[in-house]
Amino acid sequence: MTTVIKVGGSLAKNGRLNDCLNRIDRQYKKACIIVPGGGGFADQVRAAQQHWQFDQHTAHNMALLAMQQMALLFKALQPAWQLVANSQDISYDLHGIMIWQPDITELDAAGVEASWDVTSDSLSAWLAGAIHADRLIILKSTPVAVSSPIDALQHADIVDPAFHRFIAADIPFDVRYYEQL
């Protein structure tokens, strides 16, 4: 069973990241792929785009680099976890926890839209579909109503506006407060 877990970048900002990663390490010793949010690194990209007025494609690629930076942070905090960049490099005989560093070239080739509507939420859904994961869990730093439908989650800004386009119908998902892990 392969589970994709998206860890919100806001957990790094509010000091709960270590607790969250330790919870994952204790509970998901089997097949698990972590998708990091961009956190403060992505916030810097937003600020730079607003200041410099550069295009969406450049901002999108910079936001993917922000996710890669968070992946390196996660690896520093959990040295036993493995880094993986390309979805094809994820072993289907996975034993342990991997951290996904999204490959810009792979996502461009897959036609993933370069837009702030597509954040790590949508990218975690894309990855779950690409590797035929058994489940997707999206962890947030604030409590959420787990049973909320996608449109309600999008309306409340809990998942990004493009999420519904990326989540496969056959992959169960839920959005949780990280302490509900």
CATH classification for the domain delimited by 3-180, as one of 3.90.550.10, 3.40.1160.10, 3.40.190.10, 3.30.200.20: 3.40.1160.10
Within the chain, how many helices (H) and strands (E) appear? 8, 6
Domain ranges of the chain: 3-180
CA separation for the pair 92, 132 (Å, rounded):
9
List the chain pLDDT tens, one digit each, 181 residues. 799 999 998 999 888 999 999 999 999 877 799 999 999 999 999 999 999 999 999 999 999 999 999 999 999 999 999 999 999 988 766 678 999 999 999 999 999 999 999 999 999 999 999 999 999 999 998 888 666 788 888 988 999 999 999 999 999 999 998 888 8
Are 2 and 31 in contact by the 8 Å Cβ rule? The answer is yes
Give me the amino acid identity at 106: E
Nearest to 118 by CA among 136, 104, 131: 104
Query: Taking each helix axis from N to C terminus, what angle separates 56-77 and 39-52, rounded to the nearest 10 degrees?
Result: 160
Question: Are 119 and 160 a contacting pair, CB within 8 Å?
Answer: yes
Residue with tokens 């979805």: 87
Tokens standing for residue 70: 């968070």
Q: Residue 35's closest CA among 16, 63, 9? A: 9
Res 90: pLDDT? 87
- How far is residue 45's CA from residue 60's CA, in Å, rounded to a whole number? 9
Contact 96, 29 (CB under 8 A): yes
pTM: 0.95
Whose tokens are 């342990």? That residue is 96
